[in-house]
Amino acid sequence: MSTEEVSSRFADLDLWPTHEMVRAMLEGQLAAAAAVLPQAELIARAAEDAAARLSNADGRLIYVGAGTSGRIAAIDGVELGPTFDWGGARVAYLLAGGPEALVSAIEGAEDDASSGEAEMRGLAPTSSDVVVGVAASGRTPYTVAAVRTAGAAGALTIGFASNVGTPLLQSVVHPILLDTGAEIVAGSTRMKAGTAQKIALNTFSTSVMVRLGRVHAGLMINMRLSNQKLRGRALQMICDVTHAERAVAEDALERAGDDIKLAVLIALGETPEKAAASLDGVSGDLRAAIERSKFDKVRDGGSAP
């Protein structure tokens, strides 16, 4: 496996001056980013297929991994909640060794294929679900077994690995190879392989959220207003989208119960009830709802917002 190879270039790494060592490590991080770019088309296809499945109200995004890969996958999923209001029952995690493995190394758990299979069965995956398996080696028994179990149940499966022709990539509908090669510290996939995984997962999940209508005009229109900073950001979004005064945006956001999409439509002159119905009619697509609002106003003899 390329991620386990010992690079002759770094055989005397411990004898290098620290500044040269650090520079080499940073160059490795740039190489990790470069390894993701050739997979842009494959990531896009996976994102489009995932969005189609997750458009079902009961669809879940399920992350599977072990060790570094599992932790990086879990971080990606957790951050979807505050950013895109995608959480709760719509996201799930299978991490070899259980939740404790997020903060403690439980290395032997990754070899337990039966646990991966059993834990995935416990989630009762369906054809509405999307399962993302992440393993730098591409061979992790726990991850491969869990993903195969999900695929057999009809879930859409996506795999990210850093070694070609490995079981994980052979087991999924969308195999995505992140060819980061040998690590500066042989086998330490928390370095280049981990960076490539973080970039690829961020790109994939954000693309899915955009396709699901949770981004409007480059804005986090579905974010949760969990603190004053985010509330201020939300008010600015409403002002930017509607060109309304701050006081109007504040009133709209209050009437919308802190739902930014609803607040935008209210600031444009809709009632909360009509705004909610308009969004429901276009599956939450704010752009489509705004266009519908403009059309209705013109049709009814008023002026478009």
Report whether 205 contacts 61 (CB < 8 A).
Answer: yes
> What stretches of the chain adopt beta strand conformation (E)?
61-65, 91-95, 130-134, 156-161, 174-177
Strands of 174-177's sheet in order across: 91-95, 61-65, 130-134, 156-161, 174-177
Give the Cα separation of 203 and 205 in Å (integer). Answer: 6
Q: Is 27 a catalytic residue?
A: no
Of 116, 159, 163, the C-alpha closest to 136 is: 163
From the candidates 41, 48, 79, 245, give the one annotated as an active-site residue.
Answer: 79
Q: Is 131 helix (H, G, I), strand (E, B) or coil?
A: strand
From the candidates 27, 110, 183, 270, give the one annotated as an active-site residue.
Answer: 110
CA neighbours closer than 13 Å in the CB half-sphere of residue 130: 24
Q: Is 79 a catalytic residue?
A: yes
End-to-end CA distance of the chain: 59
* Catalytic site positions: 79, 110
